[in-house]
Amino acid sequence: MEKVLLKGNEIIGEAAIRSGCKLFFGYPITPSTEVIEYLSANLPSQGGTVLQAEDEIGAINMCYGAACTGNRVLTASSSPGISLKQEGISYAAAVELPMVLVNVNRCGPGLGGLGPAQSDYFQSTKGGGHGDYRLIVLAPSKAQELYDYTMEAFDLADRYRNPVMVHTDGFLGQTMEPVVLKDRPEAPEVDQSWVVNGCKGREKRILASYSLTNEVGEENNLHWEKKYKEIEEKEQRWESFHTEDAEYLLVSFGTTGRICKSTVLNARKKGIKLGLIRPITLWPFPVKGIRPLVDQLKGIVTVELNTGQMIEDVKLAAECKVPIHLYRRQGGMLPTEDEILAYLEDIFQPDGSGEVHE
Amino acid sequence: MKKVFERTKGLSDAHFTFCPGCTHGTIMRLIAEVMEELNIIEDTIGVSPVGCAGFCQDFFTCDFVGAAHGRAQAVATGIKRSLPDKMVFTYQGDGDIAAIGTQHAIHSAARGERITSIMVNNAIYGMTGGQMAPTTLEGMKTTTSPFGRDPVSAGMPMDFPKIIANIPGAVYVASVSVDSPKNINKAKKAIKKAFQVQQAGLGFALVSILSTCPTNWGMSPVDSLDWLRENMLPIYELGVLKEIEEVKNL
The full DSSP string for A232-277 is HHH---EEEES-TT-SEEEE--HHHHHHHHHHHHHHHHTT--EEEE
Work out the percent of chain B whose per-residue pLDDT is above 90: 96
For residue A50, the chain B residues in CB contact (below 8 A) are none
pLDDT given for residue B139 in this prediction: 97
Which of A206, A200, A195 minimizes the C-alpha distance to B57? A206
> Both A193 and A243 in a single domain?
no
> Both A223 and A291 in a single domain?
no
Mean pLDDT of A259-268: 98
Q: Is the bond preceding residue A335 a cis peptide, omega within 30 degrees? A: no
Across the interface, whether the CB atoms of A61 and B79 are under 8 A apart is answered no
Q: Is the confidence at residue A357, as pLDDT, over 80? A: no
pLDDT given for residue B1 in this prediction: 85
Mean pLDDT of A56-69: 98
Final residue before a domain boundary, out of A234, A264, A284: A234
Angle, in degrees to the nearest 10, between helices B181-199 and B24-37: 50
> Using 50, 70 and 90 to split pLDDT, how confident is the model at A351?
confident
A212 in a domain, yes or no? yes
Across the interface, whether the CB atoms of B45 and A197 are under 8 A apart is answered yes
Maximum separation of any 2 CA atoms in chain A, in Å:
73
In this predicted model, what pLDDT tens digit does every residue of A270-296 receive, in sequence order?
Answer: 999 999 999 999 999 999 999 999 999
Q: Going by C-beta distance under 8 Å and a sequence separation of 6 or more, which residues neighbour residue B155?
A: none
How many CB atoms neighbour CB A210 within 10 A?
15
In this predicted model, what pLDDT tens digit does every residue of B195-248 receive, in sequence order?
Answer: 999 999 999 999 999 999 999 999 999 999 999 999 999 999 999 999 999 999
pLDDT given for residue A358 in this prediction: 66
A354 in a domain, yes or no? no
| Beta-sheet pairing, A136-138 with A281-283 | antiparallel
Length of chain B: 250
Work out the percent of chain A whose per-residue pLDDT is above 90: 94
Angle, in degrees to the nearest 10, between helices A56-68 and A79-95: 30
Nearest to A207 among B54, B65, B77 (CB): B65
Let me know: does A204 contact B48? Beta carbons within 8 Å. no
Q: B78 to chain A nearest CA, in Å?
A: 4
A266 in a domain, yes or no? yes
> Both A182 and A198 in a single domain?
yes
Let me know: does A310 contact A123? Beta carbons within 8 Å. no
| E strand or H helix at A358 | none
Q: B100 to chain A nearest CA, in Å?
A: 11
Nearest to B104 among A54, A71, A210 (CB): A54
A18 in a domain, yes or no? yes
Q: What is the DSSP string of A1-64?
A: --EEEEEHHHHHHHHHHHTT--EEEE---TTTHHHHHHHHHHSGGGT-EEEE-SSHHHHHHHHH
> Both A141 and A219 in a single domain?
yes
Nearest to B63 among A25, A73, A204 (CB): A204
> Both A185 and A322 in a single domain?
no
Nearest to A198 among B43, B65, B107 (CB): B43
> Both A89 and A199 in a single domain?
yes
> Both A79 and A97 in a single domain?
yes
A353 in a domain, yes or no? no
> Both A225 and A300 in a single domain?
no
Query: Measured between alpha carbons, how far apart are the two ends of chain A, in Å?
Result: 34
| E strand or H helix at A65 | helix A56-68
Final residue before a domain boundary, out of A172, A200, A234: A234
Chain B interface, best mutation among A27, A62, A193, by max B CB count within 10 A: A62
Q: Going by C-beta distance under 8 Å and a sequence separation of 6 or more, which residues neighbour residue A258?
A: A141, A142, A278
Across the interface, whether the CB atoms of A62 and B63 are under 8 A apart is answered no
For residue B78, the chain A residues in CB contact (below 8 A) are 23, 25, 61-68, 73
Q: Is the confidence at residue A185, as pLDDT, over 80? A: no
**What single letter denotes the amino acid at residue B157?**
P
Coil vs helix vs strand at A171: helix
Across the interface, whether the CB atoms of B81 and A199 are under 8 A apart is answered no
pLDDT given for residue A187 in this prediction: 73
Q: What is the CATH number of the domain that holds A317?
A: 3.40.50.920
pLDDT given for residue A58 in this prediction: 98
A192 in a domain, yes or no? yes
Q: Which chain A residues touch B if contact means CB-CB below 8 Å?
A: 22-23, 25, 49, 51, 53-55, 57-59, 61-69, 71, 73, 87-88, 91, 95, 196-201, 204-210
Mean pLDDT of A308-322: 97
Q: What is the DSSP string of A79-139?
A: HHHHHHHHHHHHHHHHHT--EEEEEEE-B-STT-BSS---TTHHHHHS-SSSSS---EEE-
Angle, in degrees to the nearest 10, between helices A254-269 and A337-348: 60
pLDDT given for residue A355 in this prediction: 82
A258 in a domain, yes or no? yes
> Both A81 and A37 in a single domain?
yes
Angle, in degrees to the nearest 10, between helices A143-160 and A8-18: 40
pLDDT given for residue A15 in this prediction: 97
Counting the structural domains of chain A, the total is: 2
Q: DSSP letter for A291, please.
A: G
Q: What is the CATH number of the domain that holds A20?
A: 3.40.50.970
A36 φ/ψ sector (left φ>0, alpha ψ -120 to 50, else beta): alpha
> Both A199 and A318 in a single domain?
no
For chain B, give every domain's residue range: 24-248
Q: Going by C-beta distance under 8 Å and a sequence separation of 6 or more, which residues neighbour residue A269?
A: A356, A357, A358
> Both A212 and A311 in a single domain?
no
For residues A119 and A28, what is the distance between their CA atoms, to the nearest angstrom? Answer: 20
A219 in a domain, yes or no? yes
> Both A76 and A199 in a single domain?
yes
Final residue before a domain boundary, out of A202, A217, A234: A234
Which of A115, A127, A168, A185 minimizes the C-alpha distance to A280? A168
Which domain does A33 fall in, by range?
3-234
CATH code for the structural domain at B24-248: 3.40.50.970
Coil vs helix vs strand at A302: strand
Rounded mean pLDDT for each run of 10 residues along chain B, 250 residues in total? 92 94 97 98 97 92 98 98 98 97 98 98 95 97 97 97 98 98 98 98 98 97 98 98 96
Q: What was the ipTM of the complex prediction? A: 0.97
A215 φ/ψ sector (left φ>0, alpha ψ -120 to 50, else beta): alpha
Q: Going by C-beta distance under 8 Å and a sequence separation of 6 or more, which residues neighbour residue A203?
A: none
